[in-house]
Amino acid sequence: MIKKFSLLLAGALVCLSSGANAAETWRAWNIHNDGHPNTAALDKFAELTKEGTKGEVTLEVFHGGVLGSQPDALEQVRLGAIEVGNFNLGPIGPMVKEANLVSLPFIFKSVPHMFRVLDGEAGDIISKAMADADLKPLAWFDAGARSFYTQKAINTPADVEGLKIRVMNNDLYTSMISAMGGNPSPMAFSEVQQALKTGVVDGAENNFPSYKNVGHYEVTKNYSLSEHLIIPECICVNTKKFEALSPELQEAVTEAAKEAALFQRELWEVQSAEARKDVEAAGIKVNEIADKGPFQEAMVKVYDDYLAANPDMKKLVETAQATE
């Protein structure tokens, strides 16, 4: 009897350590609420993962940033305390140097150009570096372009002078605002609306869905289309958790992420146009900037300083710039 029991126990242990049949539940972090395209895309990812892995991997998605701020959640995923999340590559830059490519202002000519860069050699280098840092990207989301919103319209870099502008956590964004004579204020996303309302900051920058979805449009009057940053987002998973899955399950989860990303990109196109219309209907003035040249010129110093401090990033920058 004892012998039989120990055999059974040994069998169970082998099974557990190989991870062969152990069904997994992964926690997924999402900063956005209902009504944002990424929320729908993450729910889709959960549905497709369950289907594709036949219930071997189940995702429990936590929306609205309830599992913590983005920089905290990134650390949690790296540690394996949260398994997966939809992250903006902006706050990943300080953790994974290669990912900072996308945070150089005006590095991409357009969203399609950004996807072409990610699908090429530069994307492979970024993906590998992120995976090595325990943030393996399974698929890329569209996040449009980020523009400034403030009380008065911005037409030239001089209009940013003296303004306190909220940015995400990344030294490149602080340099970007400083290069225009503004005062950068890094802050968690969840604090921005209150900071705008109370005048702690004069403005912020984001895409239309985020501007609308968390009510930033209620407390700023002008959205000026500087489109200075085009930052991709990822579905990123803790590398070790992912690699502990069987090759079949890895493939199924990757497929689910890629399909969810295609869904996200379609939704993004429709819903970011809708978000623009909605804020305009609510009285926001969307200000077209006739000439973005002066903004690009103001960024020369940002590139120079950055490349002087990170000469090993030069090749990656050139690869992105040379991508048609």
Q: Report the residue number, 180 or 231, with the smaller CB distance to ligand GTR.
A: 231
Place of tokens 């890895």: 250
Question: Which 190-229 residues touch ligand GTR, going by CB under 6 A?
Answer: 206-207, 210
Q: Report the residue number, 80 or 186, with the smaller CB distance to ligand GTR.
A: 186
Q: Report the residue number, 230 or 252, with the smaller CB distance to ligand GTR.
A: 230
As measured in angstroms, the least distance from the Cβ of 187 to ligand GTR is: 8
Among 28, 168, 177, 237, contact with ligand GTR (rule: CB under 6 A): 168
Q: Which neighbouring-strand residues pair with 136?
A: 237
Number of residues that bind ligand GTR (CB under 6 A): 11
Q: Which neighbouring-strand residues pair with 285?
A: 222
**Does 31 help bind ligand GTR (rule: CB under 6 A)?**
yes
As measured in angstroms, the least distance from the Cβ of 161 to ligand GTR is: 22
Asked whether the beta carbons of 206 and 273 are under 8 A apart, the reply is: no
46 φ/ψ angles, rounded to the nearest 5 degrees: -65, -45
**What distance in Å separates the CA atoms of residue 140 and residue 57, rounded to the nearest whole number?**
21
Question: Which 239-298 residues touch ligand GTR, going by CB under 6 A?
Answer: none
Among 49, 53, 70, 100, contact with ligand GTR (rule: CB under 6 A): 70
As measured in angstroms, the least distance from the Cβ of 69 to ligand GTR is: 9
177 φ/ψ angles, rounded to the nearest 5 degrees: -70, -40
User: One-letter amino acid identity for 57?
Assistant: V
CA neighbours closer than 13 Å in the CB half-sphere of residue 272: 16
Q: Report the residue number, 52 or 71, with the smaller CB distance to ligand GTR.
A: 71
**Does 174 help bind ligand GTR (rule: CB under 6 A)?**
no
Q: Find, among 87, 88, 215, the residue nearest to 149 by Cα.
A: 215
Q: Report the residue number, 159 or 233, with the smaller CB distance to ligand GTR.
A: 233
As measured in angstroms, the least distance from the Cβ of 253 to ligand GTR is: 21
As measured in angstroms, the least distance from the Cβ of 96 to ligand GTR is: 15
Q: Find, among 285, 242, 264, 234, the residue nearest to 86 by Cα.
A: 234
As measured in angstroms, the least distance from the Cβ of 214 to ligand GTR is: 9
As measured in angstroms, the least distance from the Cβ of 144 to ligand GTR is: 8
**Does 76 help bind ligand GTR (rule: CB under 6 A)?**
no
**Does 143 help bind ligand GTR (rule: CB under 6 A)?**
yes
As measured in angstroms, the least distance from the Cβ of 162 to ligand GTR is: 22
**What distance in Å separates the CA atoms of residue 43 and residue 306, rounded to the nearest whole number?**
38
Q: Report the residue number, 71 or 157, with the smaller CB distance to ligand GTR.
A: 71
Task: Give the β-pairing of 164-167 and 183-186.
Answer: parallel
Query: Cα-Cα-Cα-Cα dihedral of 141, 131, 46, 68, to 10°?
Result: -80
**Does 176 help bind ligand GTR (rule: CB under 6 A)?**
no
Please enumerate in sequence order all residues whose Cβ is within 8 A of that of 68, keeping only pairs 6 or more positions apart, or say none.
Answer: 29, 76
C-alpha distances (whole Å) from 243 to each of 136, 202, 249, 266 are: 10, 45, 10, 29
Among 45, 173, 189, 242, contact with ligand GTR (rule: CB under 6 A): 189
Q: Helix, strand or coil for residue 102?
A: helix
**Does 88 help bind ligand GTR (rule: CB under 6 A)?**
yes
DSSP state of 244: T
Q: Which residues bind ligand GTR (CB under 6 A)?
A: 31, 70, 88, 90, 143, 168, 189, 206-207, 210, 233
